[in-house]
Amino acid sequence: MSGLEAVILTIITAATPLLLAALGELVSERSGVLNLGVEGMMVMGAVCGFGAAFVTGSPLLGALAAIGAGMGLALLFAVLTLTLVANQVATGLALTLLGLGLSGLIGEAFVGQPGVKLGRVSIPGLTDIPFIGRILFGQDPLVYVSLALTGAVAYVLFRTRLGLTIRAVGDNHQSAHSLGYQVIATRYACVLFGGACAGLAGGYLSLAYTPQWIENMTAGRGWIAIALVVFATWLPLRVALGAYLFGAVTIFGFYVQAMGIGIPSQFLSSLPYLVTIAALVVISGSRMLTRVNTPACLGQSFVPER
Amino acid sequence: MRLVLERRSEHSQAMAVLSPVIAIGLTLLAGAIIFAMLGLDPLYALYIYFIDPLTSLWSLEQLVVKATPLILIGVGLAICFTANVWNIGAEGQLTMGAIFASAIPILLPAWQSPLALGSMIALGCLGGMIWAFIPAILKTRFGASEILTSLMLVYVAQLFLDWLVRGPWRDPMGFNFPQSATFQGWHLMPTFGGTVHLGSILAVVIVLVLAVMVGRTLTGFEVKVLGNAPRAGRFAGFSRSRMVILCFLLSGALAGLAGMAEVASTVGQLQPTISPGYGFTAIIVAFLGRLNPVGVLLAGFLLAISYLGGEGAQVTLGISDKIARVFQGILLFFVLACDTLILYRVRFETARAPRLAPGE
Amino acid sequence: MAAGETKPQMTRLSAAPEFLLEAHNIVKVFGTLAANDDVSLMVRPGEIHALLGENGAGKSTLVKIIYGALQPNSGELRWLDKRVRIDNPAAARRLGIGMVFQHFSLFEALTVAENIALGLPGAFNMARLSKRIVEVSAEYGLPLKPDELVLDLSVGQRQRIEIVRCLLQEPRLLIMDEPTAVLTPQEADQLFLTLDRLAREGCAILYISHRLEEVKRLCHTATILRLGKVVATVDPANETAASLARLMVGSDVHAVRAGVAQVGGAALLDVTELSLPADGPFGVALRNISFSVRAGEVLAIAGVAGNGQSELFEALSGERPTARRDAIHIAGEPCGRLGVTRRRRLGAAFVPEERLGHGAAPALTLSENILLTRHSTDPGLVRGGFLDRRASGAINNRVAKTFDVRKGKRDPEARALSGGNLQKFVVGRELDRNPKLLVINQPTWGVDAGATAVIRQALINLARSGSAVVAISQDLDEIFEIADRIAVISRGELSTPKSAGDTNREEIGLLMAGAHETASRPAPAAREVHRAAGA
């Protein structure tokens, strides 16, 4: 395997969890709900996915458990913010803290245990093509899921009635309500979808990326995913682009380290976080780019006028 | 069955006091259920967890020590959140404060005098302030979300600390462990009796000062107005950007001070991890204390109990001390849920009310 | 319509019922207020029927009843001579009633086609819908591009979306609520062509307006409401704008103004060629506004909401700085670039239109709200950075007593007060300072009669004691009760102020309807305006 091929492969695996989590958050935010609990949902997905796979031996069940864990936490968030109109920022933080704490507790039993790795796809004939064979046809299934999901989210949001409703609810919930659309129900669905994606992203980390469980193994990826949505101006295709860019930045750090140049490893590890800040500054500072796509009702509570 | 919210005409004063109490009660209930599911006697477990830490002098001192950083950071965050400024990076500001303060014992170990201690305190505050200034200015100049930028800086700060203790600031006589030389003499917080140190005194003093500021000064009034009704705040001539920077600098200084207090007492040196997440737990402290300085004081103690209880439960009951974090998370959830009661009356409706047409 | 063209004749099909919609003896009561008091209205197919009246006359209520958004307490609605109950807007739409609201239900970040799709029931095919939009909109003279974003459209173009959305459902009765309030003269002309066309095709139009020249030009019939009752049903062709105005506002004169203005001395407020670009797509640009107010007089600025009043208020208060510092002088000081606190220190006081959220902070108590505007002007309220709560409490008590503020307890939260009492508090808070200049926007909007009298008298007293008062209002009663001089703001321009004694309601009503505007000025597209504002 050539060096470039290896680099590309690792970029893909680094980008996939970011992509999955960011797509989920994008849908949630498009409907007007800011869910800062992505990190919590992701880490719960990681621990539950690992645990289920470890106990049953099936990475597929692990992935399903990860999705379930993410959705469970998302449901908690939805009840608080949509039904009890609690502050979305505070509740999202609570979700993250709860998720991190709960995952630490559950994960104690699994620290140091060998992981059940999600196998890679292998298509006879195609996978063996030199160089592009493994990149295009030899990934683990979740990579393909993440790419398919990107296309699906883009299609549903912009070409179906459901997507139109979601965008309308996020743009002006009072107008949507007066036109007869169910604002709260739509938001519940979008938040749960976001939770499923975040959970799956976490599951990917513990099932494919580094098949083991380490406490707090998400290391802030959930937060980067949220920043990614802003950076991509709430467009699915740009989210994919951003995820791969961030994946590249992360991997770049590893490879520079491996090359033995005298840059401290900690600095290289901090690159993704610094780049995130820079990206946010660039995007937020330009009103032109954000103007159209920022959901106007993002973070605002909705109580129907009676 | 539908849950219907009815807006109250005023904040319910009763609920403002009751809501945290109800939340605590619900958390205890949830805790009892969790313990029962783990096969333990719920009441005994709750006793070990919450009451036992209060029964001995030693653990009371530990309580004070653990509550100190929570209170210091929490009171700063309470002011931030009141102004609708979201400083989530207190953990990073705590780290930078610890690093700045540690420069003295590590680089000037021979300078032993009260002035050295005073400088450490000042440097601790400065480190936190500088680290907090970054998200503040990025928000006011570029509109970048302060939540995300302050949070990203937490990871950066922790990586910076890691590099320092493994590299340039590693103790040459420390057997290659990733830690700095231990602090000596005037580079440690003076203690009173056993373990209670100067930081705790400072915390109480700061709470009192800020309580006065929030309740009695024009600046405190500005904080309230800008957080509550930004347009009225503009009408009053108050500046939102000034408030963002002020809040970040204040909470950054306090977090930095807490960081300094931690490394100059409990830990006694610089290590890769110097805080079990105080900067994040302080968020819960701020909300539980209803964003009020005195409330934060009480809430800080309550959450300190949960830390101690976790350790005690590990020893006595054999359950993981990580359950403390779960309790804290559950508590915050209940606090936020119960807060709804302050602004709304909750009713359950069985019959579907006729859907009123738009424009009613 | 070009000169010489006559109004369309109404199509009358021989076997069809004479009336499309009939409303008989409609009564609608809110609390003790009868918004509609025995109102009857008849609309023929193909008829353009105006519904005239001032604010609060009951036009909106009646129309909401017809559209199914409200249910009457008593009375009957008939459609094509059959008694009907219109339970909700969907039922109204099924009958064939479409409504274009004054405030649109649009989604700014979505395209024209998407906005229309959201308003149409059932499944849709975007490509086909876009084609239909292009066809129908062009056919009726309101061309729309389906892929444009609403964000980029002017107000007139946005209204077209609302209209085309209705047209696609093939309505038989189209209700239009103050359609030309935010249109330029050219856009209004285009709209009239469309409405004529619709009427010729047999669609009836219920046209709510207060613009009398338009009504005369366009409508076949006019029903005039005043204080909830039908005053007359006339053919506008037989009336003059003046006679219509008299029917609308009544000719009874209210209480005589207290005293005569002792006007003298230098101007306490001097505005010279104030221009301000619009702030966002829904904003109104101010153009070359000039006026001055001297000690002892009340200048009323009349105008229908949405013609630049908020913008003017924010420019005067300092919440929006102006480009030139000498555009505004307060007590002789050039302060175009000074903030609101500095202007207050010069002796100015301000009361905005929105009392909850702008004039007062809803979650703060009354005594805290006293501090809101007086923290830097009252020496006793803040000492060395510390608040003197007793002092602010004392002011609160004084204001409550002097202005009869009724509240449950001594110091409740602002949001617990009724509208009228909160307004008395907000006005009282400023008047208690004896300001040299008071700028107040909509002094008694939504305020009960008792509080209204208190506030208006207080404004007059303030002026008589030697201060200058600027009152922006859309209530003609109020204007003639308190004003010494009157100017009219329309589409961001101000008419030359006239002495109240030299004018009358009809004339002011005509000016409010736009008679004085500079003709044929193209409306800037919302996007250009946005750019000019430095977005």
pLDDT tens-digit map of C16-55: 678 888 899 999 888 777 888 889 999 999 999 999 887 6
According to CATH, what is the number of the domain C257-347+436-535? 3.40.50.300
What Cα–Cα distance (Å) separates residue A178 from each residue in B355, B356, C514? 11, 10, 32
Q: Which residues of B are less than 8 Å from C421 in CB distance?
A: none
User: Which pLDDT value is given to residue C111?
Assistant: 92
In a domain, B41, yes or no: yes
HEC states along C428-468?
HHHHCCCCCEEEEECCCCCCCHHHHHHHHHHHHHHHHCCCE
Separation CA C269–CA C284 (nearest Å): 22
User: Which pLDDT value is given to residue C525?
Assistant: 35
CB C150 within 8 A of CB C198: no
In a domain, A235, yes or no: no
In a domain, B355, yes or no: no
Contact call for C105 and A180, based on CB within 8 A: no
HEC states along C247-299?
HHHCCCCCCCCCCCCCCEEEEEEEEEEEEECCCCCCCCCEEEEEEEEEECCEE
Local confidence band at C140 (pLDDT 50, 70, 90 cut-offs): confident
Give C400 or B45, the one with higher predicted confidence.
Answer: C400
Contact call for A291 and C151, based on CB within 8 A: yes
Separation CA B280–CA A277 (nearest Å): 20
* pLDDT at position C415 over 90: no
Which residue has 């009141």 as its token pair? B82
In a domain, B360, yes or no: no
Separation CA C215–CA C247 (nearest Å): 14
Does residue C111 belong to the interface with chain B, where contact is any CB pair within 8 Å? no
- C486, β-bridge pairs: C300, C498
User: Which pLDDT value is given to residue C10?
Assistant: 55
Q: Measuring CA to CA, which residue among A242, A253, A247, A248 is closest to residue A282?
A: A242
Q: Which residues of C are less than 8 Å from B359 in CB distance?
A: 64, 67, 69-70, 101
Q: Which backbone phi and psi does C310 adopt, to 5 degrees?
A: -65, -40
Separation CA C228–CA C245 (nearest Å): 17
Local confidence band at A236 (pLDDT 50, 70, 90 cut-offs): very high
Which residue has 């179906």 as its token pair? A160
Contact call for B228 and C361, based on CB within 8 A: yes
From the list C90, C106, C117, the residue facing A175 with the nearest CB is: C106
Give A153 or B314, the one with higher predicted confidence.
Answer: A153
In a domain, B359, yes or no: no
In a domain, A56, yes or no: yes
Contact call for B320 and A105, based on CB within 8 A: yes
Which residue has 């002088």 as its token pair? C329
- C218, β-bridge pairs: none
Q: Mean pLDDT, to the nearest integer, of A192-198? A: 97
Contact call for B237 and C352, based on CB within 8 A: no
Separation CA C120–CA C142 (nearest Å): 19
Counting every residue, how long is chain B?
A: 360
User: Which pLDDT value is given to residue B200?
Assistant: 92
C19-95+211-249 to CATH, choices 3.40.50.300, 3.50.50.60, 3.40.50.1970, 3.40.50.2300: 3.40.50.300
* Count of beta carbons in the 10 Å neighbourhood of residue B230: 17
In a domain, B357, yes or no: no
From the list A167, A178, A181, the residue facing C110 with the nearest CB is: A167
Contact call for B235 and C88, based on CB within 8 A: no
Does residue B10 belong to the interface with chain C, where contact is any CB pair within 8 Å? yes
Contact call for A230 and B148, based on CB within 8 A: yes
What Cα–Cα distance (Å) separates residue B343 from each residue in A114, A169, B19, C248, C414? 50, 24, 11, 43, 14
> What residue in B sits closest to C390 (Cα-Cα)?
B216
Q: According to the per-residue pLDDT averaged within each range, which of A266-270, C7-11, C475-479 is highest?
A: A266-270
Residues of C with CB under 8 A from a CB of A: 90, 105-110, 114, 117-119, 123-124, 126, 149, 151, 535
From the list C108, C126, C535, the residue facing A296 with the nearest CB is: C108
What residues in chain B have per-residue pLDDT under 50? 353-360
* Count of beta carbons in the 10 Å neighbourhood of residue C206: 27
Contact call for C361 and B11, based on CB within 8 A: no
- E strand or H helix that includes residue C33: strand C33-43
Contact call for A36 and B320, based on CB within 8 A: no
Q: Mean pLDDT, to the nearest integer, of A279-296? A: 79
* Count of beta carbons in the 10 Å neighbourhood of residue A221: 28
Contact call for A284 and B160, based on CB within 8 A: no
Of A99-108, C49-58, C486-495, which gets the smallest average pLDDT? C49-58
Query: Do the bridges between strand B196-197 and strand B344-349 make them parallel or antiparallel, or are there none, so unpaired?
Result: unpaired
Q: Which residues of A are less than 8 Å from C108 in CB distance?
A: 171-172, 296
What Cα–Cα distance (Å) separates residue B95 from each residue in B126, B180, B255, C226? 12, 14, 8, 70
> What residue in B sits closest to A219 (Cα-Cα)?
B155
* pLDDT at position C69 over 60: yes
User: Which pLDDT value is given to residue A66?
Assistant: 96
Token couple for C114: 């998407």
Q: Which residues of B are less than 8 Å from A280 in CB distance?
A: 138, 144-145, 148-149
Does residue A287 belong to the interface with chain C, where contact is any CB pair within 8 Å? yes
Instruction: Note the pLDDT tens digit of each residue in C228-278.
Output: 889 889 998 888 877 877 787 765 433 445 656 667 677 889 999 899 988
How many Cβ pairs closer than 8 A exist between chain A and C?
A: 46
Q: Determine the structural domain holding residue B82 and report its residue range.
A: 2-349
Separation CA B163–CA A108 (nearest Å): 28
- Helix and strand counts by DSSP (H, E) for chain C: 17, 23
Separation CA A79–CA A65 (nearest Å): 21
Sequence-separated (6 or more) residues with CB below 8 Å from residue A262 = none
User: Which pLDDT value is given to residue A288?
Assistant: 65
Separation CA C248–CA C232 (nearest Å): 9
In a domain, A168, yes or no: yes
CB A69 within 8 A of CB A49: yes
User: Which pLDDT value is given to residue C30?
Assistant: 80
Contact call for A285 and B320, based on CB within 8 A: no
DSSP-derived 3-state class of residue B2: strand
Sequence-distant contacts of C322-325: CB under 8 A, at least 24 apart: C322/C274, C322/C276, C323/C275, C323/C276
Q: Which residues of A are less than 8 Å from B330 in CB distance?
A: 98
Output the domain CATH number for residue B237: 1.10.3470
CB A49 within 8 A of CB A62: yes
* pLDDT at position C364 over 80: yes
What Cα–Cα distance (Å) separates residue A126 from each residue in A7, A222, A256, C530? 20, 34, 32, 54
> What residue in C sits closest to A172 (Cα-Cα)?
C107
In a domain, A260, yes or no: no
Query: CA angle, corner B239, sides to B238 and B241, nearest 5?
Result: 155
CB A22 within 8 A of CB A229: yes
Q: Determine the structural domain holding residue A154 and report its residue range.
A: 3-219
- E strand or H helix that includes residue B241: helix B240-263
Instruction: Note the pLDDT tens digit of each residue in C344-360.
Output: 999 999 999 999 899 99
Q: Mean pLDDT, to the nearest integer, of C291-309? A: 88
Compute CA C526 distance to the chain's CA centroid, rounded to the nearest angstrom: 20
In a domain, A184, yes or no: yes
> What residue in B sits closest to C63 (Cα-Cα)?
B359
Rounded to the nearest 10 degrees, the angle between the axes of helix A3-30 and helix A221-231 is 70
* pLDDT at position C112 over 80: yes
Q: Mean pLDDT, to the nearest integer, of C106-133? A: 88
Domain count, chain B: 1
User: Which pLDDT value is given to residue C282?
Assistant: 61
Contact call for C89 and B235, based on CB within 8 A: no
Does residue A164 belong to the interface with chain C, where contact is any CB pair within 8 Å? yes
